[in-house]
Amino acid sequence: MSRLSQPLATVISVIDLGKRLIDYGVSKLPKLFSKEKDDLFLKVHYIPLKDLKVDPKYQRLINTTFIKKAKEFDPLLVKPLSVFQRPNEDLMVVDGQHTSCLAATYVEEPEEFKLPCQIQVHPTHFTIEQCEAAEASYFKRFNSLRNIVSAVAKLRSDIAQGAKYAIELQDNFVTLGIHVEGIGAPREFNGKIDVNQVHGYDKLRAAIGKYGLPHVRSAIDLCKKHAARTEKSNKWGYPLNGGLILGLAATYHFIDTYLGKGDKLTAILDYLDTRIQKRAIDKLTQLTSGPQMDVLILSNIIEHYNSKAEDEDSYPTIGHTEKDSIFDQWKKDPIHAKNFKEEVKD
């Protein structure tokens, strides 16, 4: 049986829907655009790749994972690049860097390959700084209209605009020796494995915001140490897990603020150094999603530690489930007033 066809909607009907939504209070009365001349839209020009340039502040934000996954250049998916012409006649790609990179990677004779571009011309009196500011402003306006923007894509956009929080995060990633989709420290390869890559941006950002760089650094160093091990029994690996980093940062905070300097401290540091990697990451992070992820992962870690204490005479158990245990006291620490969901907001 053939599928019943539905009448196609006209553009005007879409406009009517928009007006009804306004009547229902969904949005404010829009600012209506008045057509006063014919050349309202930017014309499309085909420009060779060799003539297009990218400002370093945009270039360092290229998502190379995206380029690798694409595997080919598909011209049917190409939309015109947003390009600005500066007074020195440099043609700067402001939006469309990934399309440019795909073409440069996957086409024959890329230098002569032409891409469709819409060019905006800066005033001739603009300085380079004024050009950069105008381009960043356009980049922000253009990307704010996109329906779905991932957290990392928003971070890229905000870095390009010079947003304080974004620049600080990028600097923190560099300090910690890691990157998220190329944002932060340089990629570092052991064979084909990038040892600096972290998956789980929101969790990583939450860890930094809640527990600070020293505890996060300890967590990352531990993850890298165990991920680098080659034993068949090793259950850790790359890329580094942002959720686990959050849980381990909580662990180091717990150790520094509640465990003291006795046998328990010596034992749990030994456990983290020699035993924790025996537990698979997905077991440590199982059923921990949500605003208490860090607390739940630490609970799993202490539970696993206590199971090892049964086999190690030198491992004293750590109070875990009982009221007023060390772990229960830690859960009441004022630091938890900083719900980690708040840490991933702008």
Domain limits, the chain: 44-147, 169-344
**Comparing 235 with 169, which gets the higher pLDDT?**
169
Provide, rounded to the nearest whole percent, the portion of the chain with pLDDT above 90: 49
**Comparing 222 with 30, which gets the higher pLDDT?**
222
Q: According to the 3-state scheme, what is the secondary structure of the chain? A: CCCCCCCCCCHHHHHHHHHHHHHCCCCCCCCCCCCCCCCCCCCEEEEEHHHEECCHHHHCCCCHHHHHHHCCCCHHHCCCEEEEECCCCCEEEEECHHHHHHHHHHCCCHHHCEEEEEEEECCCCCCHHHHHHHHHHHHHHHHHCCCCCCHHHHHHHHHHHCCHHHHHHHHHHHHHCCEECCEECCCCEECCEECCEEECHHHHHHHHHHHHHHHHHHHHHHHHHHHCCCCCCCCCCCCEEHHHHHHHHHHHHHHHHHCCCCHHHHHHHHHHHHCHHHCCHHHHCCCCCCCCHHHHHHHHHHHHHHHHHCCCCCCCCCCCCCCCCHHHHHHCCHHHHCCCCHHHCC
Q: What is the pLDDT of residues 297-332, one digit of tens each?
A: 999 999 999 998 877 677 899 988 888 899 999 999
Q: Kindly report the average pLDDT of the chain as a whole number.
A: 84
Contacts of 257 by beta carbon, 8 Å cutoff, 6+ apart: 330, 333
Instruction: Give me the mean pLDDT over the 61-67 stretch.
Output: 71
pLDDT on residue 98: 84
pLDDT on residue 345: 45
Q: What is the pLDDT of residues 256-306, one digit of tens each?
A: 999 988 899 999 999 999 999 989 999 999 899 888 999 999 999 999 999
Amino acid identity for residue 90 in this structure: D
**Comparing 33 with 124, which gets the higher pLDDT?**
124
In this model, does residue 247 exceed pLDDT 80?
yes
Q: Which residues of 254-275 are buried (b: 16+ CB within 10 A; e: fewer)?
A: bbeeebeeeebeebbeebbeeb
Contacts of 260 by beta carbon, 8 Å cutoff, 6+ apart: none
Domain 44-147 class, CATH top level:
alpha beta
